[in-house]
Copies of this chain bind each other. A is one copy, B any other.
């Protein structure tokens, strides 16, 4: 059994923690590509360079492992967006901030984090109880987006006649769906983001 020699929040990372992370990384990678049903423990073990049985030294069950990948996925995306917003100049408009959030979310998803893309993919695949847990974790991230939209609307920067909840879900949907189709050969994610933001902000219709 593992000893808990560390106090919460310790910074040094021992061998055991590194192995644990290696397993999580492997799981995120495989899950991202094969989904929940398609991912077997032996697949994860192979990538992590160990035997399937050994995984149980670190995680109580397959579900527990997957759940931690998903939790990490949401939290890391939240962090990435939050950090990006934090480093914006104070004079940035609410719309600027909204656009930055969209760009960051998309880039993070498709070319930075296996955890985040795996999480998106898994949301619709895991059993009901895990899903509940997951939705709870996502609530904080959802609130951030809700706030971004509300601020922009209250400042008169975006139109006020739309159901912002629906708009938010549609935006997230467009961004999240990219994990299903985006491949590097479709071009750099920055370009996708640019065009998407152009559409969302100014519309497809030509100005008269």
Complex CA gap A174/B191 in Å reads 18
Complex CA gap A40/B175 in Å reads 31
Are A127 and B38 in contact, with the CB atoms below 8 A? yes
- Is A172 among interface residues, defined by CB-CB distance under 8 A? yes
Q: Distance in Å from the Cβ of A130 to the closest Cβ of chain B?
A: 11
A interface, by DSSP: helix, strand, loop or mixed? Answer: helix
Q: Of the 9-residue stretches A8-16, A46-54, A70-78, A162-170, which lies at the interface with chain B? A: A162-170
Question: Which residues does chain B contribute within 8 Å of A121, judged by CB atoms?
Answer: 124
Residue of A35, A38, A170, A206 with most chain B CB atoms under a 10 A cut-off: A170
| Given known A-B contacts A177-B172, A187-B163, A201-B205, A125 and B195 have beta carbons under 8 A apart | no
Q: Distance in Å from the Cβ of A62 to the closest Cβ of chain B?
A: 12
The B-contacting residues of A in range 158-192, CB under 8 angstroms, are 158-159, 161-163, 165-167, 169-182, 186-187, 191-192
